[in-house]
Structures are given as structure tokens and as C-alpha cells.
Amino acid sequence: MSAENSEVLNNGIVIIGAGLAGWHVIDAIRAKDTEIPITLVTADSGDRYHKPMLTMAISQKKSAADLVRASGSDAAKKAQITLLANTQVTDIDPVSQTVHLCSATQSDDTLTTIGYAKMVLAMGAHPIFPKSLPEDLVWHVNHIERFGQLQEKLATGSQHVAIVGAGMVGTEIAEDLLKAGHKVTLIDLNDAPLSQMLPAKATARIAQAVKSQGINFLGGYQVSAITRISDSSEVEKLKVDYAVLSSDADKTDAEPIEPLIVDHVIASTGLTVDDKLPAAAGVEFDRRTGIVADAATLRTNAAHIYAIGDCMSINGVACRYVAPLRAQAATIADDILGHEHSGYDHKPPMIRLKNKAISVMVTGVPQAVGNWQVKTESDDELIMDLLDDNDAVSATVTIKAPAVLKV
């Protein structure tokens, strides 16, 4: 049936996205109302898994199947919801409060229309692929399906993996692959890992720890191209062309360097939110941080539509961490069900780098550039505070060397 003449199939709560955020909303609603109709729409199978485990699973020899806590169908049955798996949302009409869907199992372009009384956008964010990182040659580990495909490739033996981007995820994956027996090259535009978050004094310690493990860290370099080649044994490899970034503002070309020959390339170059559905729904959207949500209710500016997780921002800051999801979901559940609540109180979560080579903990809202002051400094520990314009602490980083690294 076409979208134009189809009967509206549902008029309850529609949740778009079956990641941690979407399932947390379902859990929160079902804890308070077991009967209200809920429809979960997802482009994948809807399986429940803990995404942060993806950066640790290869060395632990855990397959994608091992990470799945419940299949989408089993989880849906337990929660008594309707799961529309492998289904794309093609449009949202906020006036008629309807969603147009197309199932991957359909052989034509037939659309289904479902209505909603309330909608929750929990569609997450997707990896950014610069032009120099072609998607058909580069892996990402932002989703369990792609993780599983990469893991199958890596299971054949020790290989050389280049990781582009030394933020939290890239730095964690680098250590995980090294522990699994692979050769790792970590490439970043900045001189040290986590340089977009922390000051140079802190990131220098992280860089030292990463290098001490045997990871080849190339800081201050930019990947210019990746091409598929075959070596003398006809084994397919990837050639990674990269260059040192020039410090000369008048020089536009970076100095070329002998290319890397690797087996795989993983992109860890940040996340972005697709603006197609927010635009269709008339939801306020920022290209840098995602869907704009009210700080207290997590409502968007569009009536009856909420946002949660990676796809949304509060007060101009993207919410890309797992820890606050449960409280966010509880607020949305109360608001949807008409229960009185005190409002969501957003508190930046503690950020922990999951690397064993060095302990990095960050509280508050860190940013690389700012008035960072040293609080404690020794060979084994560094503590720095970021002070705002009123000399109040807005972030703190604590870096400690594990016992194995102490001299």
C-alpha cells in the first residue's frame, strides 16, 4: 500500500532507533506503564548490546554474537512492543503525526504509514568519513554489524591495522588491537591523542603511554588517500598516503612521506547526525551537535517529539555518552505518560579512557583550549583543572600511570 492511501496502523509511542538510547526509553516506559502501545523502528535487527564493549571485544575474543544480550525479536516480545526491524523511515509528517516507512524485506518501493501520539528520536549518530577515507575501503566500529565483519577479517592472523583518528574511540581500539596481536599505526592531525579534549601537558603523557606499548603513533599527520593494491603474493593490501601537516600558513601542500602498506584501515574521525529526519519533522537542528532538546524535558521544538542520546544536544553540547541515558529515558517516560517529574538535570558524566597503559579520567565539560591549571604534578600523576571566566572549575583531568609503567 502506498503512503498516500495507506491506513494509519498505530497511534501510540513511536521510537526511531534501537540502540542503547531507544531501548532505555522502552525500559523506562514499561516500568511505569505495561499497556501503552510502543512501536520501535530500526534499520537493523534491533538486537540489544552494549556499544562501548566494541572497543574492547577483539582482544577478548568476543564475537558480535557474544556481545548481543538479547535478539531484537526476543527483547520486543519481553517488552510487549511492536518491532519494525530492517525498516527505513523515509519521512515524518509532524502535522498529521505520521511516519512513512519502507521495509528492507519489501521487493518494491511500497510505503507503510504509522501514526504517533508521541515520538522519540533515538537514531544515534554515524561516522564521519572525510573524502580521503573512502567508505568502501575503510572500517568503522560504531555498529555491531560492521564490527562483526571486521572481526572475521582479523581472526585469520596477525595483521597491520591503521587507525585514523586518536580520540577516545581510536585510542581505545588501538590498544585493543595491539593486545590481540596486531600491528597498529595510529594517525592523528594533532600531536597527541585526545588533543581536541585536553591540554598539551595532559595529552603528552597519553602519547608517551601509547608509544610505550608499541603502537606506532603518527601525530601531526593527515591522510590524503587510501587505495587498494596487491603485494608480491597477490594478497590484497591498502596503501595509505599521508603527509606531515605544514606549520607554514602560506604553504598549502603538506610534505609527502613514504606511504603505509596495511591490511585494514579503521576510521575514528568523529560522528555526525543525519539531518534528513529532523528536517522533515520540523525539529530544530544544529549541524555540529545534532537535534536541539529542551534541557528539562528533552522535548524538541516540534510538538510531541522528543530526542535522546547521540543524536541530540543540550545547551549547545552534544550528548555522546552512555552514562546519562537512563536518567534521560526516565524523564522522557514521565513526560510522555503525563507524570509529574522534577525535570532532567543534565550532569556531564565522568569520562574514562578504557586503556590499560594509562589511567585518564575527566569530569565536567573539557575543551583543549582554555585556562588549564596544574593542581598536582609528579611522574606518576597529573591533575589539572579548567577554570572558566569566573575562575570556577569547569573540568578536571586526572592522569595516572599504572604500576607497570612506573619506574
Please identify which residue in the block is written with the cell numbers 491506513.
Answer: 7
Local structure of residue 185 (DSSP, 8 states): E
CA nearest to 184, candidates 237, 269, 263: 263
Cα–Cα nearest to 65, from 143, 144, 141 = 144
Which pLDDT score is estimated for 235? 82
Residue with cell 526476543: 74
Sequence-ordered alpha helix ranges (H) in 110-234: 144-154, 168-179, 200-212
Nearest to 123, CA basis, from 29, 19, 28: 19
Instruction: State residue 404's pLDDT score.
Output: 42
**Closest to 28 measured CA to CA, from 42, 38, 17, 43:** 38
The candidate with the shortest Cα–Cα distance to 223, out of 144, 287, 157, 170, is 170
C-alpha–C-alpha distance, residues 221 and 379, integer Å: 28
Closest CA to 239 of 250, 231, 249, 247: 231
In 3D, which of 334, 326, 322, 348 has the Cα closest to residue 297?
334
* Rounded Cα distance, 407 and 399, in Å: 16
CA 136 distance to own-chain centroid? 20
Q: In the chain, count H helices and then E strands.
A: 8, 28
Distances (CA, A) of 129 to 56, 189, 271: 22, 15, 9
Residue of 100, 107, 120, 105 whose CA lies nearest to 8: 100
CB 242 within 8 A of CB 218: yes
Instruction: Write down the pLDDT at residue 246.
Output: 64
Write out the chain's pLDDT in tens, 407 residues. 233 334 445 579 999 999 999 999 999 999 999 999 999 999 999 999 999 999 999 999 999 999 999 999 999 999 999 999 999 999 999 999 999 999 877 656 667 999 999 999 999 999 999 999 999 999 998 899 999 999 999 999 999 999 999 999 999 999 999 999 999 999 999 999 999 999 999 999 999 999 999 999 999 999 999 999 986 667 889 999 999 986 554 444 556 689 999 999 999 999 999 999 999 999 999 988 999 999 999 999 999 999 999 999 999 999 999 999 999 999 999 999 999 999 999 988 999 999 999 999 999 999 999 999 999 999 999 999 999 999 999 999 999 998 544 43
DSSP 394: E
- The β-bridge relationship of strands 381-387 and 371-377 is antiparallel
Contacts for 370-379: CB closer than 8 Å, 24+ residues apart = 370/199, 370/394, 372/199, 372/201, 372/202, 374/201, 379/406, 379/407
Q: pLDDT at position 253, please? A: 57
Q: What is the pLDDT of residue 254?
A: 58
Position 257 scores a pLDDT of 86
Domains of the chain: 11-125+273-337 (3.50.50.60), 128-267 (3.50.50.60), 351-405 (3.30.390)
Radius of gyration of the chain (CA): 23
